[in-house]
Amino acid sequence: MILVVEILFIALLIFLLTIVNRNERLSAKTCLSHAVIEQYWDGKNRRKYSRFKKELKVIYSIEKKQHLKNNACTVDISEGGMKLLLDKKLSNGSVLGLKVEMPDVRDTAEVECRVVWSEELKGDNADGKRLFYTGLEFCAIREPHGMPLVNYIRSLVDES
């Protein structure tokens, strides 16, 4: 007799848990907001600033080793930063001092940037060196030394 009561009690518990679980799933469906992922992946640029594919010569130095100058080239540039092609991997958060040469501008622009990301290119260059794309964000563009770059980027924005 006790065994039958225990089996009925277990069956009742399973039935109640099933009902509670189903109700939870139904209420979760109605409470959650449904994001439309297609809008995120529809191919539109989701960046804050438009990027412009421009190759500019850059001389950079790492903040802690300002006496060491290195050459680089931009891959693209925007109002918020730039992507460089480097032969060194720089750690995230490193601060760089840059001198940027722009076409049709006599003066170089001097800016400070922070490394946001770095990614190795697949394969080596012709010299057998490893190459890295490095994303930089502008930290400081001081007047008057940074103004040629600001004006150059603004001209790119106005053209587009």
Q: Which helix (H) or strand (E) holds 81?
A: strand 81-86
CA 33/CA 37 separation, integer angstroms: 12
What pLDDT shows up at residue 134? 95
Write the CB contacts of 94 (distance below 8 Å, at least 6 apart in sequence).
Answer: 62, 63, 114, 115
Amino acid at 45: N
**Residue-level pLDDT, tens digit, the chain, 160 residues:** 888 889 999 999 999 999 988 888 877 666 555 455 555 555 555 667 888 899 999 999 988 676 678 889 999 999 999 999 988 899 999 999 999 998 887 878 899 999 999 999 886 566 778 889 999 999 988 888 888 888 888 888 888 7
